[in-house]
Each structure stands twice: as structure tokens, then as C-alpha cells.
Structure 1
Amino acid sequence: MFSDKANKIFAEVINKYHEANTVDQDFANPYNKDNQLLEHLLYRKCWIDTVQWHYEDIIRDPNIDPVAALKLKRQIDASNQDRTDMVEYIDSYFLAKYKDITPKKNATINTESPAWGIDRLSILALKIFHMNEEANRTEASQEHQMACKAKLNILLEQRVDLSTAINQLLEDIENGDKYMKVYKQMKMYNDEELNPVLRGKKTS
């Protein structure tokens, strides 16, 4: 099933990141985009999410240097754009895959595209990894560990449900019971023509 593959790759990414455990480490994708395109996209997507997860931890340091914080904010903005771009690449993969499927007359549209469900699955993998760390952190209190174990069980249940829902959505699209409709990005704050602050800074 698709979600089994995705969850396996996400775990691979997160474990690989934590070998060095630094946001500045080099990135290397083990999947060739020419013959393993889907795996390539999933690996890259989760890597972006994993680095950004740790950006978000760092920027919450109450003693962070303001100049460093501003630089990090710019990195988070760029990461958010990369994340959204990757969602569109993954949706483009599925649009191409199912382009010859004729939806049934009573076919319906889902509330989100497959890739946005996959986006949530990637974030969920990170939550599970870090909640598991907290549940087993030996220097933490027993109360803390027990609370985190309870949260971890809920996250694991959520992963089963979300994985099942994504698999079902892809099966419904393949069978013509649902159809894909993707809306491209319409973000305004990075666009010099749409963000009045950026527009005001443009030089002639």
C-alpha cells in the first residue's frame, strides 16, 4: 500500500537526519528521480519538514540573538516555500499517474489533494519520533514519561487512520469514484507585485 511506503521513507529520513542532528548538514537523496520519482519526492519532502521542525525549535530559544533570529526567520520562510512546492510536485505526480482515469458521473472531490494528506503524514512521523524520545527520556520525571506515552499512543493511532484514509483516497481516484482537482499556490506575501511592502521596496 502507498502509505506503508511513505511511512517507511519518512522514518528513513528522520533517522538519517538525527545521525548528525544539525540543520546545517548536507542533503543527499538516495532515490534517483529518473526511475524512483515518487520515492525521490517523498524523501525530499520529509527532509524539508525535518529541517524545518528543528528550525522551529531553535527560533523559540528565549535567549536567541536577534540578528540570528532574523536570519532563521528568513530560512523558515524559504523552507515553507520549499514545502509547498514539494506538495505541488507530489500532486503533479499523481495527476500524471491518473490522467487517463475517467471519473464516474457521480464522482466526488475530496477536501484535500493526496499530497496535502501526505504532508500531514510526514509531519505526523516527526511528531511520533520526538514524542517517543520524550516518552523514553530517562532524566525526565515518570509523570512526564507517562504523559508522553499516552500522547504517543494517540499519535500512532492517528497515523493508522490517516494512512488508511490516504490509501482509500488514492484507490477511489484510481477507480473513478473521486477525482483530483489541484489549486496552485496563490501566496501573496512573497510576490513583489502582491505584497505592498515588497512592492514599495522595488527599484526602477
Structure 2
Amino acid sequence: MNATSANDIFRQSIRDYHRADHVDTPIDNPYPSGDFAHLLYRKNWIDTVQWHLEDLIRSPDIQPGELVAVKRRIDQSNQDRTDVVEIMDSVLYQQFAQITPKPTARMNSETPAWLLDRMSILQLKIYHFAEQTDRTDVSDEHRQRAAQKLAVLQEQEADLARCFDELLDDIQTGNRYVKVYRQMKMYNDPTLNPVLYKK
């Protein structure tokens, strides 16, 4: 697995979502459940739905009850996103388990899966800024600003791809290592969130 294949899967997920373009569209993951590609597709699908939930919650016409419901969906989505990233890190950690880092190896603060998380969200930004450059209901200035931002995002895409491939290569050759720290979120845990456990 490399950055090119990961980004291809992220783009596929985004295209598939936008066929219906609705937050309640059920995921139809085309990859076998045991494949890492399955996790990448699932990860991006979560990101894509959440992207559009974030749009919905900012509607000036949203009713208070709907706003609360969407906010709770976003909270759950954040938890789902974290869970999938941690599963991906566990899979990658197992793949690298037999590699002994060199004495000179440097620790990387970001794990491969959290870098994939950034790459997934970046593909969403690229998709939606590209949409803005094609709009016919806005000024030329709007399209030009969007095109300038799109160019920066595409440069970032290339940079993150290189960083990801270099990180995997460095881990495999023992030149870098990572530690997998589980996210210790408290707000969804009824035993840790005081608003929940004091009820």
C-alpha cells in the first residue's frame, strides 16, 4: 500500500457518495472486509458524510431539534472516525511488528493511519474546491480564488503523499518508529463525562 493507492480509494469513495449526495445514503463498500482498502474506503465515507453534516448544521433555516440531532450525528461520526483510524494503525502495527528499529531510529509523532486521516480529508477539500471552480452562478473572482486555493491543496496532496511513502519506507528499514497511543476521548463515555455520570 502506498499514498497513490490510498488517494485513489479516497477519491472513489467521494465519487460514490456524490452519486446520491445525501447523508443518509448507506455505504456500499466495494472492497472485501479483510482488506486494508476496505478500511480506507470506510474511513473516507465517514469523512464525506460528516463533511456534509457540517454543511447542514450551518444552515440558517435549521430548526433547533434538527440542529441537536445533526450535532449528535457529528459527535458519533467523530468517534467512528477515530475508531477506524485506530483499527488501521493496529493493522499497520502488526505488519511492522517484526521490524527492529535501528539504534539511530527517530520516533515519528504521527502514526501512518493519522497521516491517512489527513490525506482523506484533504481529498474532500480538493473535490469541493474543484466544484467551486466550475460554478456558473458566481463571479470570475470567486472562481479564481477557489482555483488558487485548489492549487495549494494539490501541492499539499503531493507533499503528504511523499511524507506518507517516506514514513512507511523509514519504518520498514528501521530508520523511524512510531508509538500507537489510543485516543482517550471522554465525552462519549458515560463513566468519564461528568454530565453523564452525575445524572
TM-score above 0.5, yes or no: yes
The TM-score, its normalising length taken from structure 2, stands at 0.98
Q: Distance in 2 between matches of 1:141 and 1:111?
A: 43
Shift, 1:138, TM fit:
1.3
Q: Distance in 2 between matches of 1:18 and 1:190?
A: 30
Q: Distance in 2 between matches of 1:110 and 1:141?
A: 44
Identity %: 52
Q: How many residues align?
A: 199
- 1:22 alignment partner in structure 2: 22
Q: Distance in 1 between matches of 2:186 and 2:80?
A: 15
- 2:90 alignment partner in structure 1: 92
Q: Distance in 2 between matches of 1:143 and 1:111?
A: 40
Q: Distance in 1 between matches of 2:108 and 2:188?
A: 28
Which 5+ residue runs of structure 2 have no aligned equivalent? none
CA offsets per residue over residues 176-203 of structure 1, 9 Å max, x none?
A: 00112100121111112211100112xx
Structure 1 stretches of 4+ with a deviation exceeding 3 A read none
Shift, 1:107, TM fit:
0.9
Give the secondary structure class of the aligned counterpart of 2:180.
Answer: coil
Residues 104 and 175 in structure 2, CA contact (< 8 A), matched pair in contact too: yes
- 1:147 alignment partner in structure 2: 145
Give the secondary structure class of the aligned counterpart of 1:179.
Answer: strand
Q: 1:161 aligned to 159, 162, 166, which one?
A: 159
The TM-score, its normalising length taken from structure 1, stands at 0.96
**How is 1:36-75 mapped onto 2 (pairs within 5 angstroms)?**
37-75=35-73
Give the secondary structure class of the aligned counterpart of 1:109.
Answer: strand
RMSD: 0.8
